[in-house]
Amino acid sequence: MIKPRHVLVVMNDSDAQIALKSAAALAERYDAALDVLGCVEPPHDLGVIARVSGQDPEQLLERLCTEKKDRMAKQLAIHLPDYKISPQIKVGKAFIEIIRYVLDTGCDFVIKQAEPLSGLHRLLFASTDQHLLRKCPCPVWMQPANASPHVKHVIAAVDVDLADADEPETLMALNCRVIQTACTIAMPQDARVTVLHAWEAVGENLVWAFSSDTRSRVTADRYVNEILDDRQRAMRRLLDRVKLDLAGSSHPPFDPVVIRGAPETVIRDQCRAHAADVVVMGTVARTGFRGVFIGNTAENIINTLECPVLAVKPDGFISPLDQRFGTTGS
């Protein structure tokens, strides 16, 4: 099972500090190191502010950092009084500084409170959160401010349609990682894990079109049933492989669920129906190429969910900000 060794929590100014509490619980469960990071993005008009206030820009920025660190220290004293943690402050674009910190320190798990999504700004494609989901090399757990600190039900969303994948083994490995990560956050609180796959019979209309009138219903039903049987077999193979990988390790039982429908709709509806506390899903589902961003389906799902999301990358994913491989990002 995936066991975090170095957890990073990105703090904001919220009084609830749900991400901080979750990060501390995860780090304690696995005896992992815990780092606390705050980011200060300089105002784009810092020079103007400094000029009209008669102050030096560097001093203004230093004051912002000091105030941010003081607020973080007070929150740490309130929520984690037994911890002796010195919060880290980084200056710059938040997502860039967070990912650089991960790359520099080897953090293998990031937890952050999600930015609010509402109205026309629901699709925050340029937001810190979306950049992290796309580009951070380690799992990223996004939690809204109203998230429950007690995880009782985890949904692991998987894609078992290996036949349609460009790299079937990459997809299988990502599915395994999604389930293993779900176990990682479920174990500390004895939460149950639902392994969910949404499937669609994309060729059903063609079956109707090319079948005779007298047999079209029978033929279409047979086609749909064969697709369902294939996905159920694929689900059993996936769980058999995960159980083999986890042999000798404690893990929660898996509840496999295979439901027909578009992934965006099925996952959202299942989360609502069963009051899921978090959805774990792969964000790059059909390729293992380095630097490939979050897939459209995954991004659509994340933007319609109302519960926390834990995004997992496949083995071999390399962040586009990782300069060791000659890549850059913005």
The whole-number pLDDT of residue 302 equals 74
Report CA-CA distances (Å) from 313 to 26, 140, 171, 275, 288: 19, 9, 10, 25, 9
For the record, the structure tokens of 116 come out as 């609010």
The whole-number pLDDT of residue 293 equals 35
Closest CA to 156 of 69, 281, 264: 281
Q: What is the DSSP letter of 252?
A: P
How buried is residue 214: exposed, middle or buried, by Cβ count under 10 Å (0-12/13-18/19+)?
exposed
Tracing tokens 């293998």 back to the chain, one arrives at 108
Burial track 240-249 (b if 16+ CB lie within 10 A, e otherwise) = eebeebbeee
The whole-number pLDDT of residue 297 equals 63
- Taking the chain (330 residues) in runs of 10, the rounded mean pLDDT of each run is 92 88 94 96 78 78 91 94 92 95 96 72 60 91 86 94 82 93 91 94 61 68 87 96 90 94 90 92 57 53 80 87 65
- Dmax (CA) of the chain: 86
> What's the full length of the chain, in residues?
330
Burial track 257-286 (b if 16+ CB lie within 10 A, e otherwise) = ebbeeebbebbbebbeeeebbbbbbbbbbb
Domains recognised in the chain with CATH numbers = 1-149 (3.40.50.620), 151-330 (3.40.50.620)
For residue 18, the Cα-to-chain-centroid distance in whole angstroms is 16
Q: What is the DSSP letter of 15?
A: S
pLDDT single digits (tens) 258-274 = 999 988 899 999 999 99
Residue type, 171: L
The whole-number pLDDT of residue 325 equals 62
Contacts of 248 (CB under 8 A, 6+ apart): none
Q: Are strands 309-312 and 140-143 parallel, antiparallel or unpaired?
A: antiparallel
The whole-number pLDDT of residue 289 equals 39
Q: What H or E segment, with its residue span, contains residue 142?
A: strand 140-143
The whole-number pLDDT of residue 213 equals 64
pTM, two decimal places: 0.86
Report CA-CA distances (Å) from 123 to 204, 232, 286, 300: 32, 33, 22, 9
CA distance 238 to 219: 29
Q: What is the DSSP letter of 196?
A: E
CA distance 107 to 86: 16
Helices (H), the chain: 18-29, 46-53, 57-79, 94-105, 128-135, 168-186, 204-210, 216-245, 263-274, 296-304
CA distance 135 to 323: 13
pLDDT single digits (tens) 196-245 = 999 987 655 666 556 666 667 677 788 788 999 999 999 999 999 999 99
